[in-house]
Structure 1
């Protein structure tokens, strides 16, 4: 691709007005000349196909059309004239080649540009000549102006790029200067640098770290100036500034009545010395922006908390009652700031503040009287105010048509009250920090269950719809048996069958059959008989159509609960991972945090010794939450101190698989789910037993399964015995010495009634830059939307593997964009990488269920299990959810059958180049560039749906939207 003219170059007939100009790399401005585009295109073909290419009619016609198309695009963009940069024109040449399917020529052109960019950079460095640029002044906050300090800009960008491969500091500086103007604000300079870096994330994932580090310049300037430490500081200067900033922050926070005054009693100099400024460098842009927008403490909209200061504040808040507070605070800080473990969102929000509501979720039972119902709604409001997620058990409330003795009238049932609950969640939005979040549970024998199933529909009487809250089925084993055996099912009102609410297993089955007999002999008048399969079909149909109600299983939650002697599990929580007892006198509380599994894979192997250390510290931190916590209602305090439950979970499961070169849809992944959870369980249970030796057993320990030597793995036998061997199949293999743990519990007891639960981790996994919870990768390249904005997310593991095989280039990036982040349709990607980087909808749901079943045997609570199903049919849903029950799962969460926001998508035939669009619901990636498939029709009914005539897909929220619903109320 030399600079000589191409022979017989076709001419371009359209001439642009002289007002359209081009900025060259030298800084010179010249008139736009469309003929030069044709020259560039012709040279590109000659370089690949030889000198005869220019004479080819195919090439000549393409060059003519493409040149004219590019020119017309610029004229449409700037009809009144304007200025382009030479790079803008070259970008359009690239896209024209790729649009036409000229992949070889496009690839050569990309490589040519990259080679010359490197040569220019090297020549500039050798000559020690600054790049030409216009003279710019910067406007300070006080209105004064000063020349732009290019030296500082270059230092910031070099620091941001330090120790990161495949990033170009010079390119960021050069491209940013194009977007600056004379008089730009100081923040405007920072924004230009960040915006330039973030546009390059799709080219290399390391640019997300560059963008985050550039964002930190804003953070430092805002916080340090507010604290009176410095006007601004570089990354390197923070080694000296963090300690005084931390001390000034504690003083200001207490003065503003935002921080607990007891923080001043710590040895602040010792804690300040422990702050590690280098850990600021590990944030992704999404993670740091999330912290800035929603976590950092602020005053008058000024964030005066910095990342390492926040982690130390949380650590201090959790160490307030420790004997050696400083040592424990440093231990907790090390765990948080390294991302080995992350506390839940309420703990990050509130630890160390004057109102330390640190717990994640609350479970309540609503009694069947008007006063209690509205007291429960009031409790919802108070708990939601302090950032708690809510799970309400509404089964005791009498059904529609039930007799009301006090008024001699008939009840309107559960649904009108749920409308009030829905509106309360909207009104009390977790202290203004995020949306209120609540989930209502109803047992499948309740006479209002059919109307309950339709609460999230967009049609019907809106007074009997709840569009903003979640709902879940609480399904007894007996119902599932009748589905399997194609038998009838009877619906009752709890007003006439109140004891069913507190019964489970064989006792429930016996009593339920007695009530059925009473309907046959006329003793019970208010009931309804349906086919179990028909109700099951409606459950699945509504789940598919509206995303709700979720399907959770009453009997395994109770039969495997360590606390059977102390009450009944009447529901799960907002995110279906908590299974704790509730009653009118006790509101169950759970305190959550998650181990980052990805941080425990070292040199391609899972590091059990590191995991043990992390788990022991994490359990201690969670136990401390119980004593430090602020309780908005007395029933929650009573319950938490009596039982002391905690929920240690995991996140980054998919990242841990990548680091070990394991595909999610594989026996190896199922085995890793088993062994990794066994180790977490082993060390967590032992840590709680050792805390009991140090601090004492929890109050209701005697009579628990723990006190009987029955561990989670042992409780499977009880479930098998009560359900029947023919209705369950669970692997019960083990690798650890569990007898040693049983002996330790027998002698020491347990500090916590419950120890483990796997929450969704929607937000804290963003902070740590890993995959959520136990989720497979959603897409390998996509735009994630949440309250902090839109963020390009690229699978860095995939990029590194593709680079290692020489496959990562502009063509690959555009292929991934076109195919919505899927590697499956891209021919040049090897099969082993296609298997490894299969996305959530490309992994058969059976693998999700199998892995979850292996984890569930080790967990004393449950796990938030999202099910991804592509090409949904009634049969596939039926098989998947039956399998979940058959494998002994306690709960399931969202059915996700609808895509998240796509990345900017380049297409051949369509005119929506670089548009952000939504993927077609339920549509598989097209095997070749083609128009988007037509939208599928809505299901015409339950029968059509369950016969495989699937509709538009579940209305479950997209990935970004789910972040803003229930998930992050837990984590």
Structure 2
């Protein structure tokens, strides 16, 4: 992992140089590769010299001497290692294509640093880093203007091909504006780094890129540089969008945008409609009134990762030229959700305020498509696949149609008969469910949502299905490739009875669903009675296809394969159904792509959920949550989510039928870890569990209240009668149903602080607008936009590189940095130590104990704390939550205890199992899908008594349908 972190941090440095120097030279030299590579090194003063490999040997030798003493250079080990490392650096520098190439001197030094880390010489690399920093400080001119006067004049190639001198003064103005209000950002440092990256003949757009990369490279030492980089990127976005909308080159400063947005916005709407991208109905709004509501200063609230993600994936473009500015984006999304409101402008402004302030963020499909000509705004779709060829291929066809417009899919495959089952039509035997899962997998890859991301699907199978053991192997890298699904997620749908048999070390019987068809629709005591009846029938020879296994052995295999491949996830059928408000109207047969949606499905109805998340940190005061602000946010957010159902573009009749009848929405949260940092509460504490409880209680109370208000205003959802809501049973009340079903064998907390009796009375009187109201989704992408921690996740690391489809981004924990600064501990040595220890604090003695406890990362926290906090949230939620579980040192016993606790604490679902390697592991950093993605995918051997393999990658760029 240390190599992985350094690779990506160094890449960040190199991007700002290589992208502006190597790109131009490598193209012209591509045809001369057969003559051998000739490197030209650009010095810091802009002059050039030939490449000399002996200088690398000298530098590496000096690094060893500094650490191991003056005699180190005489040892065979060091001499041989220096020769090997020098060869690695030369190979890295000369293997990138082209016969004549130009590299920056810093690029050479980056490769030396990287080679030392990859060789495991971490102390030597650390000394080398500190030496570079000292030399950099020594070279920095006393007069910031000195660089501009001493560097040779650089010419810039304009878009029309003409040449002009580099306008240093203009760069200084742009950088000064980007640094305004950021006390820890040195604009001259950015300027000097930019000028040092420029070469004679550089293109204008490369100069702009160099500005961004220069600021971005300092994020690891000062998080405020992320905002400076964002503002420099914003300058490019303004030039691009204003020029496209106005039909002529336009530039505007941030100060100009206070008035420029008003002129731009109506033209932007007209441009989008003319291009066939925006709904023509947007032009019927009072655009002057909406333009006046735009808050241009909120463009400055983006960190670099957020704005880059917005630019790459969300802002509308025509032939790759963006014409949508950030505040226009938020207002367009708001207008799309206000189309059916009576006072559309007032509601659009209200919705815009929520989005642009980052108090609430809609899910990615809503952000992609709201206000467009194809407004598919829903996040998740759950289907049940029927047990015949027509039903199976209808399900796969629906997957393609639903995935086309950014929907994430959860498929219930349990009804499909197992291997060896009789096929009456041909008098043959079934090959089971796996061959059809292979087709579903390939369909998900083929339908890549317009190139924005691969289709994403998760297949669910109940634990009693005859094919469960083959299902467990679907993600393995060995075996028959025709029975593997490497691109599809999988999840176990586990009945309580199975867990009880595991606890009792009993037998478990596998059946084919064509012989036991009612098991699919039963749960609780009814399932147990029917299952035992079928076991008795099998003993009497009345069941044709069945197999007996030891329950605990199957459980161990489930956990082993989960450890090896990251799949299938563990989800629990009975709590999902026993606590479902809609159990009078069907059965929850599966969850969704990210395990937070628990809605009924049938062959005739595809469950749909519409998601968005409250940003906790935006509602925090010094003493806790601002109750009034949170109430207002939740009330408006539920209205926005309910509106999605009516303006939505449906790609299948089954999804439209279910969404209109039941109107489920899923309000979640993000920024939980940020809130804990601000409140000075360690994640591994009872105080954190209590905050998880109280914050979710408040969201639950106001969300149910808001849906009931909407029912009074707009009417109840059509299947309300008979629901738990209609019986006065709220989510907190349904805990008793689960407790009774398990005969008290469950750990639940039912404490409450708000006036739930009053709310219960209101729901009985006015009803509910939505069958389901809450679900906590992963939020990886939308939390990036808002610049907060993902969902309910603990911090993964305090200094790491985040990878997604926009590239790689250095992320430093700003709360930790602020605390270390306050105690005089933030310096380059601390940055180096954080890199060395993978962003974990437990082994950095300089950091005080209280800070190590507060900023403990996911792998430094006992995972039982995650389960306890999730259990407290789950008592308030009518659906579920995407809960990742982290284990620093997994073992068979530890995994068994972890997942039994998840079940025992009443959780409905779990999501990914994350783990760490105890030893140094080299990781691939080149998983390209579009030329920009450099995802970090891990292959981590871990200590288990069973065969070991790979856990899922920490950051899965493809798993974003719920975010």
Cα distance, 1:115 vs structure 2: 7.5
Match 2:226 to one of 208, 218, 223: 208
1:806 equivalenced with 2:824 (yes/no): yes
1:194 to 1:464, Cα distance in 2 relative to 1, 3 A: same
Residue number in structure 1 paired with 2:620: 601
Give the SS at the match of 2:793.
coil
Cα distance, 1:109 vs structure 2: 7.4
Residue number in structure 1 paired with 2:792: 774
1:900 to 1:345, Cα distance in 2 relative to 1, 3 A: farther
Task: Give the distance between the partners of 2:157 and 2:935, measured in 1 at CA.
Answer: 38
Task: Give the distance between the partners of 2:708 and 2:173, measured in 1 at CA.
Answer: 52
Give the SS at the match of 2:794.
coil
Match 1:194 to one of 199, 206, 212: 212
Task: Give the distance between the partners of 1:633 and 1:721, measured in 2 at CA.
Answer: 39
Residues 191 and 211, structure 2, Cα contact 8 Å, conserved in 1: yes
**Cα displacement string for residues 319-358 of structure 1 (whole angstroms, at most 9, x for unaligned residues):** 1111111111111111111111110000000000001000
Alignment length (residue pairs) = 902
**Cα displacement string for residues 870-902 of structure 1 (whole angstroms, at most 9, x for unaligned residues):** 211110110000000000000011111257999
1:480 to 1:22, Cα distance in 2 relative to 1, 3 A: closer
Residue number in structure 2 paired with 1:345: 364
1:668 equivalenced with 2:687 (yes/no): yes
- State how 1:191-270 maps to structure 2 within 5 Å: 191-228=209-246, 230-270=249-289
Match 1:722 to one of 741, 745, 770: 741
1:129 to 1:836, Cα distance in 2 relative to 1, 3 A: closer
Residues 899 and 958, structure 1, Cα contact 8 Å, conserved in 2: no
1:372 equivalenced with 2:388 (yes/no): no
1:401 equivalenced with 2:420 (yes/no): yes
**Cα displacement string for residues 532-552 of structure 1 (whole angstroms, at most 9, x for unaligned residues):** 111111111111111111111
Give the SS at the match of 2:549.
strand
1:83 to 1:759, Cα distance in 2 relative to 1, 3 A: closer
Residues 808 and 935, structure 2, Cα contact 8 Å, conserved in 1: no
Residue number in structure 2 paired with 1:963: 957
Residues 316 and 323, structure 2, Cα contact 8 Å, conserved in 1: yes
Gaps of 5+ in 1: 1-18, 45-53, 906-915, 923-934, 938-947
Residue number in structure 2 paired with 1:732: 750
**Cα displacement string for residues 484-524 of structure 1 (whole angstroms, at most 9, x for unaligned residues):** 11111111111111011111101111111111111122222
- State how 1:150-165 maps to structure 2 within 5 Å: 150-165=168-183
Task: Give the distance between the partners of 1:453 and 1:379, measured in 2 at CA.
Answer: 25
Task: Give the distance between the partners of 2:939 and 2:423, measured in 1 at CA.
Answer: 46
1:691 equivalenced with 2:686 (yes/no): no
Task: Give the distance between the partners of 2:827 and 2:922, measured in 1 at CA.
Answer: 17
Cα distance, 1:528 vs structure 2: 1.0
Task: Give the distance between the partners of 1:20 and 1:255, measured in 2 at CA.
Answer: 49
Give the SS at the match of 1:833.
helix
Match 2:770 to one of 752, 762, 772: 752
Residues 94 and 106, structure 1, Cα contact 8 Å, conserved in 2: no
1:111 to 1:543, Cα distance in 2 relative to 1, 3 A: closer
Match 1:185 to one of 203, 211, 215: 203
Match 2:890 to one of 872, 881, 884: 872
Residue number in structure 1 paired with 2:610: 591
Task: Give the distance between the partners of 1:822 and 1:57, measured in 2 at CA.
Answer: 24
Task: Give the distance between the partners of 1:597 and 1:731, measured in 2 at CA.
Answer: 23
1:949 equivalenced with 2:941 (yes/no): no
Give the SS at the match of 2:734.
helix
1:250 to 1:489, Cα distance in 2 relative to 1, 3 A: same
Residues 783 and 903, structure 1, Cα contact 8 Å, conserved in 2: no
Task: Give the distance between the partners of 2:769 and 2:886, measured in 1 at CA.
Answer: 37
Residues 782 and 901, structure 1, Cα contact 8 Å, conserved in 2: no
Task: Give the distance between the partners of 1:35 and 1:783, measured in 2 at CA.
Answer: 32
**Cα displacement string for residues 896-947 of structure 1 (whole angstroms, at most 9, x for unaligned residues):** 1257999999xxxxxxxxxx9979866xxxxxxxxxxxx668xxxxxxxxxx
Residue number in structure 2 paired with 1:6: none
- State how 1:879-958 maps to structure 2 within 5 Å: 879-898=897-916, 948-949=944-945, 952=948, 955-958=950-953
**Cα displacement string for residues 256-303 of structure 1 (whole angstroms, at most 9, x for unaligned residues):** 111000100111111111112211112122111111111111111111
1:830 equivalenced with 2:886 (yes/no): no
Cα distance, 1:421 vs structure 2: 0.8
Task: Give the distance between the partners of 2:57 and 2:695, measured in 1 at CA.
Answer: 59
Cα distance, 1:640 vs structure 2: 0.6
Residue number in structure 2 paired with 1:615: 634
TM-score, length of structure 1 as denominator length: 0.86
Task: Give the distance between the partners of 1:766 and 1:57, measured in 2 at CA.
Answer: 40
- State how 1:493-532 maps to structure 2 within 5 Å: 493-532=512-551
Give the SS at the match of 1:316.
helix
Residues 760 and 864, structure 1, Cα contact 8 Å, conserved in 2: yes
Residue number in structure 1 paired with 2:290: 271
**Cα displacement string for residues 802-853 of structure 1 (whole angstroms, at most 9, x for unaligned residues):** 1111111111111111111111111111111111121111111101111100
Q: Which of the two has higher C-alpha Rg? A: 1
Give the SS at the match of 2:780.
coil
Deviation larger for 520-529 or 737-746: 520-529
Match 1:431 to one of 450, 467, 471: 450
